Every structure is written in structure tokens, then in C-alpha cells.
Amino acid sequence: MDINFVRRQFPALEQEFTYMDNAGGSQTLSKVAERISGYLLHHNVQLGASYKVSREAGEKLSYATNEVAKFINASCPEEVVIGPSSSMLLRILSLSLSKQWQEGDEVIVTNTDHEANVSPWTDLEEKGIKVKIWKVNPETLELDLSALKELLSKRTKLVAVNHASNVLGTINPIKEITEIAHKAGALICVDGVAYAPHRQVNVKELDVDFYVFSWYKTYGPHLAVMYGKYDLLYEMDGINHYFFGKKDVPYKFQPGNFNFELTYSLLGITEYFEEFYREHFRSTKKLDTPEKLAKSFDIIARYEERISTPLLTFLNENPEIRIIGYPEADRNKRVPTISFVHSKMKSDEIVKQVDEHRIGIRFGDFYAKKLIQDLGLEKKNGVVRISLVHYNTADEVKRLIEVLKKIL
């Protein structure tokens, strides 16, 4: 991977600061900022009017949502719901979808998820929905598929699970989980927030029913997207005004509409990955967007595996450290979101000492409270989390290791 090409796209990286809290929020592409500015300065009008600027604005936003649909390989742009955050989109989904459910129906959530994909479902207990918890194996720190099969029943309506844990970094086998859920007659809702910055999201290949992730953790603005299969979205009641019906997809799930300038800026992300492909592949063979993204994210995954290997090796060699997640840098098993605890030091004590070296990492539960509680890590003030992405460098990782050697 051409790291110099990548870093040139992120102006913030020119500062003398090392960003390793990327799972909390990535740095933003310059193209994204340019799109926001361009829209606000030249097309900041309400949509749907007959005058020229409004028509142009509508065309620009339609083009942007079409490109987002291609980016995740949705069947059509109507399957793309834009919202202010993953938490809000998942809440909207739970409110809308549960209108079709009856008292005694069941939902399965995990204890490894960010609360965004837990609370919207557990809150349905007030309506008589039964919630079951799919718990991580405390030894392997993985979700056992056999445990899921035991939880499923004829009344299971939905399985809510993350594609990658924002604490463990573990990649869950979503395609296999989806097959198991569908075989039992259940839908699946996937939180891809911790996965999307690192790997291709191909909703058709996964066959998921709903998939949500945040753009501000995927090199863009503070905005989120929810994919839903069109037939499911069509049949659901929305939360918009009463005069919007079944056919008003996705607008019936977007009260007040989406944010125009931020939605338009998503083109900066899709264009970046198009340029990334052209920069790294000189083939004249014409490929579609999912094929290009598959090749590009393969390069990214290999690069992330390479730069995270020395960090995980260092942590594994320290007998006082326990890695909370898969201990190796295998790109097929994890993303480079790396959490650990120290046997003698609390997590906040470690992070605050790292702060002095202009390196940004973080400690806490990261809203995966059930996981931290079940693993007994509250007394440590959560975990230390180092979250890398593909604009981080081997030299940055080396520098962090040197800092950690002095502290640990």
C-alpha cells in the first residue's frame, strides 16, 4: 500500500500528533470537507422546488445516495437510509420494525455489542418482547455459533450482532450467522461501525437484512447509514409524517430529511476509494465498484495486519498484560482495534501517561458496558484501546511501543 498517497488525503495528519483513537472517530478526508463547503456555498436550498438551483441540489444528492448504494452493493438507492448517527438509525429501526411483532416474540442481542445495537431492542421488553443474550465465550472471547442455535426459537424475530466488536476487534462470521438466523425464520441486524473503516461492506454477499455504520468513523462527516432490504423497508411503518405511506422509502425513516451537505460530502469517501484503486492497480480490465473495493480493501487489510503485528507481539510478550480479544494480527480474524488490561495498573493510569507524548489512545468501556461488566473489567476502569487504521504508519506504531515500554 502506498502510505504516502493515503496520508496526503488527510490534512489533519500533517500535525505533529499521532491519531490512534480511530475507533472513536477517524480523521476526515480533504475531499469530504471540500464537498461540504461546495454544497453550502453553491446549493444550500430546500429540495423539491421548481427553480434551477433546487433541481440541481436534488440531482447532486440523488447522485450521492446512488454512489453510497454502490459502495455497500445495495440493490437500489431506496435501500439506503441516511441519519445523524448509528444509534438513532437503530432506534428508528426498532420502533418501526417492532410494530409488526406480537407480545411473546423474541429478539437476540449479544453482550459484545456497543449499546447502540442493544438498548433499542432490550427496551422492547416494555411491549412484551422477550430478549435473549448471546454471550461471548469468556475463554476464547468469541461468539460461539452453537450458543446462537440454542437461543433461536420459532418466536425469534431478529438477531442483533456486530460485524466487529469495538472492544475485542474480533470479526464475526456474519454470512454464517445470517444463514443460521434465516434458517430459523429470523431477521438479522448488523452493527458494522467498527468494521466498515477496515473492510469492504458488501450487503448482497452477506445477505443481511439490515446493516448500519457511521461515516465519521469511516473517514467522513458525523453521519450514518442504514441499509435495509427494500421489501422489508417497504412493509414497515415509518416515523415520518402521517401522509407518507409504504412506498415512501427511505424518506419515511428520515424525519426532517437527511442533512444535505453532509450527505453530499459522502462522495468524498467514494471518490477516495476510487482513486485508491486507480493508484494501486493499473489493470485495464473494467470492474464494477464492489470488485474494485474488494481488491482495495484486501490491500488495506494486509497493511493493517502488518503494522499491528509488532504491537500485538509486544503486548503478548509482557506477562502483566492481557489482550482483550484475539491475540494475533490475523486479518481474517480481527481488525486493528486492540484492547488490553494490565495486572497492576488501571487503564486510565496508562492512557494518561501516553497522552504526554502526543499520541491519542483511550480507556473505558466504549459503550460496550455489558462486555466490560461480564469480563469483570470495571475495576480496571475498562480497557486500554489502541485503534489503528490504514493511514497509521509502522513508525507511529514503533513510537507507541517505545512509549509503552517506559510505562509498563
Q: What is the tens place of the pLDDT at every residue in 11-46?
A: 999 999 999 999 999 999 999 999 999 999 999 999
Would you state the pLDDT for residue 71? 98
Domain coordinates in residue numbering, the chain:
3-28+290-405, 32-269
- pLDDT (0 to 100) of residue 284: 72
- Domain at 3-28+290-405, CATH from 3.90.1150.10, 3.40.50.80, 3.40.50.1820, 2.40.50.140: 3.90.1150.10
Residue 282: per-residue pLDDT: 83
98 CB-near residues (< 8 Å, 6+ apart) = 124, 127, 129
Q: Is 310 exposed, middle or buried (0-12, 13-18, 19+ CB in 10 A)?
A: middle
Low-confidence ranges of the chain (pLDDT < 70): none
Q: What is the pLDDT of residues 112-146, one digit of tens each?
A: 999 999 999 999 999 999 999 999 999 999 999 99
Q: Report residue 155 CA to chain centroid gap.
A: 29
CA distances to 260, 281, 330, 355, 365 from 2, rounded to whole Å, are 33, 11, 21, 29, 34
Residue 387's pLDDT is: 98
This prediction's pTM? 0.97
Domain 32-269 has CATH 3.40.640.10: yes
Q: What is the pLDDT of residue 283?
A: 75
Sequence-ordered list of residues with C-beta below 8 angstroms from that of 210, at least 6 positions apart, any chain: 93, 187, 188, 189, 190, 226, 227, 228, 229, 232
